[in-house]
Structures are given as structure tokens and as C-alpha cells.
Chain A
């Protein structure tokens, strides 16, 4: 069972295992004073100077049609990630057409060039490559991840999907059913309902952020091929895109291939960008209850409109949220999980987008502790307005700063970081400045940010759970005005 590996001094075989162990113990004891001092456990070892992060350089090039290409070489593993980023996502959906960007992206690989949906999937799968299309609030992506040995075969397939999608009617109808079913299944999950409800109740039905990125039942029922084609042709243009390539390649070898694959792609006209209406905060705290009969837990979301990705408080909020609910030792998790055991985990997040996205704290808590949990949420959120102890601040800064290298470990992780720079127009120095800027955040910064961004008296509070058990206690607790909302109000 325990085979000897190569170069394994002192490793014992299994034939005389019991005896072997006893013998080695005796030897170890006899040799202990000279060979091995007992470890000093009186205090935890203090780490030495932190290692330097070596972010490989971004090599910036441009194709003949003006498409910017950012290349990062990573040669540890023979794989490569090729990502087209289009700077239009769900936020670019026209009013009444929510889900259009998402549906368009989903259709790109349902037929492209001369291949139909199945042939395309077969060709990609046979290479052991993966091709993923998708959209977020502010961008759409066509991402190829492939063994580098298969890049030449995979690149034309990826280019077909980027440049020559065919939007077949039958595939749209098939995806429509799939998407409507996914939307229906939202009703199964209290956490999913709580997230959907929170967005709707904070932003309302007329702001794009008030409806899920994939749209709702009505918009997905109405979506037409012509609308998808229009969205594609007006947004998928070189002047609205970046190409990110990360992996075991060199620019010299790669660029001719990219030029061949994408050089013929031309701009088609100005990019139309519907402006998002300004969203307004609630004037006073409002609780919203959604019934989920029989639920063993209540899904809680509380917060309001937060900040855009362009906020000058990015680093302060990163550190503040790490303290509040962005880490295992954060106050929310320590309180609701470790101290009280009400939940498997509590957290908070600033969801930063092109326009101010939501801030919310969340947890799924056992039904009979719903009121107690809400009380602890408010206690911790309000407590952030007091000065944060120095060691807690240092821990949060270190966690964010010293774990930063992990974001650059994989080709897809690196591509994700590049994508954020491209979509939000951040300088490349963001990477090199990240650690010092995080480490520069002060107690006063955090206190100011908490006062500005955590005004719980204006929060929306959403609780999805078994109202027969939780409605009366929540009303009796007097957290604020309480309203019961129906699933239709959230989902339509």
C-alpha cells in the first residue's frame, strides 16, 4: 500500500509497518536532543517579509482594424486563453428588452460560419477545448480556453463565433424554453428569490439593475431573432472590443494568426449606449417579506445602492468590507456563524458596476432565529461607524494585499483581471498600485466610508422565508415599516 517513491529517504515500506513505526520512535527519542529541538509554541511564528508579486507585463498590440490586443505570457502549463471582450452588457439592454445582451451572447455558439450548433460543439469538444460565451452587466465575452497544441485548430472556430454567428430561429426557440425554465426554477430557491427581490425592490422595475441580467419571463418570451441580430451588429465591433490572450504563447507567433482570424472585422457604425436612469435610495428603512412556506431557513439580504466601479473609495471599501463581511473572520461571519451558530455563513459585498451597483449583506439563517439574526446584522453594520481597532484593520489590509497574487495564478484568473482593466478603463498601474493603496487605508478612512456607505436607516431589508413563522416576530421587533410582497411583484 505504501510504495516507495523515488528519492524518499527514510520512508518505510509496509511489510513491517507496526514494528517499523515503533523502532523509528525509539530512534527518534534517542536522537532528539541533538537532531531535533522541540518546537517553540509559546507564540505563533511571525512571517518574514512578504514575497514580491511579479505580475508579468501586458504586451499591448493592435490589429490592422484597430482592435487592441493585450497579451500576457504564462508558460508553466501548455494552455492558452483567448478572450474577446465587448464593452456592452446587460446595462446596454434597451428598455423593455431586458436580457437582450445575455440572450445574444448565449446564441453566438448556436450556429456560426458554416457550422450548425451541434457541429460547432462537436468540433470544439473534440479538440478538448472549451468555448464559452456570456455577458455581465458591462460586457459580453467569447472565451476560448484550449491546450496550446490545439490553438491553430480552435482559433478559426472561435473566430466564427465572434464574427459569423447565424442566430438560427430553431435554436433561439430552444434556448427560449431553456431560459424560461431557468427563470421558473428561481422559485425553488429562497436565496435566489431573495437576490432577485432585493435588486427589484432597491432599483425598481424601470432601472436595468432591478431585473436579472438574463431578463424575466415576459422579455424572454418576446425576444426576436431580429433584435438579437441588431444588438450583435451594433455592439460587437472592433472599436467596442478588446482581445485578451493569456498563456503559453509569444506575441511574435500569435499575432499573425490573430490578424488572419480577425483582421477582416470592420466597424459598422457608432455605438449606441442607453444611459441608465439615476437610481434613488429609499428615504427610510423598509422591510420586505416574501413567503416561502415550509422553508427551513430564511434568506436575508439587506442593503442599498452602493458605488460604481469608478469610485475613488475603491480601496477603502475593499478594506472596510473585508472587515465587515468579506472574509471568514469578518464581523458578520464571526457573529452570526461562529458566535451564535444561526447560519452556515454571513457575508457582505459591494457589487461595483458601470453605474452604482448594490451593496448588501446576506445570510441564510435558521427560521426560528430570523429576528435575532436581523438584530445582529444591524448591530454589526451600525458598529462599523465606530473606529476600527488597529489589529483588525491590519489583518484586513494584509489579507487583501498579501492574497492578491492568487488572482494571477491561472490563465483564466489573469484574463479576468485584464478584463476588469479593459471594461472599466483602469490603468495598468492598478496592479502595481493595489498593494500600497490597500496598505495605506487608515482607521479614519474606514470610519468615514462606513458613515457614508452603511446608512442602515435607509436600507431595504428582504427576508424570504416561512411567513407563518417569521412575519409576526419581525413586525413585533419594530425594525421599520414592513411590507409583504408577492412573487409576481418580484419576478414580472
Chain B
């Protein structure tokens, strides 16, 4: 789950889960080379530079290696709250100036938070690289000089309205928040929602917030990618100049996350002010890049990618029981979730009964995949669409910059594009079948249903 600072602005496909690719063509792999220069500053900041002169812009992309998983129960939502606070100015940047200076230079910015990391990024005309680096370095080095309780309160109100808009007042929004609570134990770092709880946001003290920043926002816990229309030696000098006075922080110890497994079927029913019932099935699955992760991307595609995918064809096209169906391997650093979502069509039958019928069909299709390997064409079709997705990502400098940071954070190698592609290349039909068998057990999963308020029977 990714929570963004604002709804307007540059959209960057940040999630590895939705942008993987596959190719059997060496030609594509060669186009996926993203040459870079990487170095580390004395204060610990990792810097990755990639030149791309196709348009006269530069993407500056900072990942702080902290997400909601670093929070503590009772004090949730901090990583995301900081994603807002970091745009409110720092010692040498007056409140509001972060945005006004960038806009005056023709730049745009945004940020987003997941369980594992927070990213901050600007896209600026190539003449404004110094400005972007000044702003990024100042908030890395001098944020706490200006963070007051009043400033935090202001952004706390905005975040509460983000929560209302994206979850509480959005159809089915609360189901998305509920799933991780039901699937991870209370002390597991993926238990609470990235956006946090209203009560925690209210209760957070100024000391809590500043302590969190001191611990996790030092240069040694961050990586900076610059991609676009610049000259590498010059950009390196600019980075060394602007970040030279940012002080190193204490090393951040690795997060130890105990393995987690479901012991049975968890069932829950929510009601929401919606017209149509919806079924969510979700399993705990291997972490990003762990064995099984790529295979489950292909399982998702075989089940719901395109009109001929198995679940779409049966539920939406043939039986017309469902309005839509999706499956997704939501890859994350310490463990993933594979989730199938089906929204029912209007029906005379009670919603519970419709969802039972839908669930039966989903289970039949999963069982079929477990008992026989998919056709080669099904798997190839899925791989081809991943490959094209990869090419699309190459078109957008800001997307490339974010992916360089993502790969660096996950593997230590920013230019992991071709290797990532090869991961899918190696997967055969039998591997897809094996992944479905191993990771989608019918007796260990979440079954969450959402029923329209006032329309359920016997509620």
C-alpha cells in the first residue's frame, strides 16, 4: 500500500509489484540497461546518477529507508506524517517556499509512503538541479530547526482528511485498512495501516515526532537518485557541495521481522455504504524477490490479466456474476500478500449467497491451476505484457529514477532492470502451477466480505 502526499502531481509507478516485466528477447534486455554512477558521501548518503537527455528535465528522487514498519503500536502513521512535514520548510527554506521555489522554476514534486520506505521526488527543468538539491539537502540536514508543534498539527489535519478521502469516505475503503490487521499479529510491523490510526495521529507528541526523525532521516539511511539531462561529473560536484554539511546520524539497526504464517481461514464481514457486495481473498506470500514472488506475479496474470484470463473470463465474461476481478502479488520487503478482489454484479439473490457462488468459482479456478500447469500461451501472454510494461517505464525519467532507488534498496544494484526481467524469463508453466500449490492454500487465508449496508440478510 502506498499513500501519497497529494493527489495532483506526477504519478510515478513506484511499486515493483505492478511493474515487473519479462522478455525472451535479448533485444529488449539490451534496451533495459540503465547505466549509472554510484558513490557514497562521507556522511553515508548513497548517490546514484543516470544521464538521459531525451527531454531537458531532471528527476531528483530520495528514498528514506523508513516506512510504517518502523513505527510502534500506539504511534502509527509517523512515516507518512513526515512525508507531509518534509514539504513544510527547513532552516533555510521558509514555510511554503519548498513548493513556491520549485513551481517558480517550473518544477513539480510529490512523495509517497509504503510499509518499507518513503520517497520524495522533484522533476525540474535541467537548469534547476541546484535548486532541487538545495531543497533536498536542507530538509535532510536542517528540518528539526523549524518543526514546531503548530506545523505538525497543520499537516496532521491534512493527513486526517487524506484518510477520510481515501478510506473512510471511499467505497470499500475501510476493507483495505482492515486486511492487514486481520492477517498480521498485533506486534507485526505490517499490522497497522501506512496512513496510521486517527487516535495515534491525534496522540502523537512533538517529542515522538522529532525522535522519529532523528532516528530514521539521516543520510546513511537514505539514497539519492538523479536521472535526466545533466553531466555526471558536474552533477556529482553539485551533490557533494549541497550535501557536504548534512551531518551523519547513528546507524539504523536492521529491522528483524519474525516469520508469520496463517494457521487457518480468517473470516470477517464488513458493511459499507455501497451498492454491491465484494469479496476479498488474501494469502501471506514470499517477500519481494524471494523465491515464488515472480511466479505469483504470473499466477495473478493468468487469473485476471485480460479478457482471456481465467477468473475474468468465467466470472465477468461468461457467467457475468461479477463487475470486475483483480489479483495482485503485493510485494514488500518483509513479506507479501497475494490478494484477489471480486465485486459482484447487482442481483436478486442475497449478497451473501452471491459472494458464496463467486468464491466457489474462484476456488475452482485456483484448484485447476494447482492440478495442471497452465498452457504455454497463457504464460507467454503474461510475460509479454510484463515486458511491455518495462519498456513503458523506460519512457519516463521520473519512473526510471524511482526504480533505480527501488532496485538499489532491494538488491544493492540500481540497474537491476535486465536481471529482474530475466527472473520472469526463467519461469515455466510448471513453476506457475507449483507457486499456486505452495502459496495459495484454501485452508490458510483471509476471506473478507463487504456487504451493502441495509441490504444484507439477517444482519
Contacts and interface: CB of A to CB of B under 8 A. Distances in A.
A327 B103 contact: yes
Please give me the 10 A-B residue pairs with the lowest Cβ-Cβ distance, nearest first: A402-B106, A341-B157, A28-B42, A128-B384, A51-B56, A188-B171, A121-B307, A128-B388, A3-B412, A45-B130
B116 interface: no
Contacts of A292: 273
A484 interface: no
A182 B381 CA distance: 28
Interface stretch (B207-215, B241-249, B356-364): B241-249
Given A126-B377, A293-B273, A296-B164, 19 more contacts: A11-B38, A21-B220, A37-B244, A38-B244, A118-B307, A145-B388, A149-B27, A149-B28, A184-B346, A188-B171, A189-B171, A296-B169, A343-B165, A344-B164, A364-B164, A402-B125, A409-B54, A410-B395, A410-B396
Nearest to A180: B346
B96 A126 contact: no
Contacts of B387: 128, 147
Contacts of B123: 406
Given A11-B40, A50-B125, A50-B127, A405 B169 contact: no
B245 A44 contact: no
Contacts of B255: none
Contacts of A257: none
B31 interface: yes
A405 B125 contact: yes
A406 B251 contact: no
B169 A364 contact: yes
Interface of B: 6-9, 25, 27-28, 31, 36-40, 42-44, 46, 52, 54-57, 91-93, 96-97, 99-101, 103-109, 123, 125-128, 130-131, 134-135, 137-138, 142, 154-158, 160-162, 164-166, 168-171, 220, 229, 240-242, 244-245, 248, 251, 273-276, 305-308, 313, 316-317, 320, 323, 345-346, 377, 380-381, 384-388, 391-392, 394-397, 411-415
- Residue in A39, A74, A122 whose Cβ sees the most chain B Cβ within 10 Å: A39
A77 B391 contact: yes
B128 A297 contact: no
Contact of B134 (A45, A296, A401): A45
B134 to A, nearest CB: 5
Given A44-B131, A181-B276, A118 B154 contact: no
Interface in A10-41: 10-12, 17-18, 21, 24-25, 27-28, 32, 36-39, 41
B229 A51 contact: yes
A174 interface: yes
Contacts of A145: 388, 392
Given A48-B127, A76-B395, A5 B414 contact: yes
A440 B187 CA distance: 59
24 contacts: A2-B46, A5-B38, A17-B251, A25-B42, A38-B244, A39-B137, A41-B138, A51-B125, A118-B313, A121-B308, A125-B381, A147-B388, A185-B276, A189-B171, A344-B6, A344-B166, A345-B6, A364-B164, A366-B160, A366-B164, A399-B106, A405-B55, A409-B54, A409-B397
A444 interface: no
- Residue in A1, A339, A394, A399 whose Cβ sees the most chain B Cβ within 10 Å: A399
Nearest to A7: B37
B380 to A, nearest CB: 7
Contacts of B397: 409
Contacts of A45: 130-131, 134
A477 to B, nearest CB: 21
A475 B137 CA distance: 50
B28 A147 contact: yes
A293 B403 CA distance: 42
Interface in A188-209: 188-190
Given A5-B415, A17-B251, A49 B127 contact: yes
A78 to B, nearest CB: 6
Contacts of B25: 149
B169 A190 contact: yes
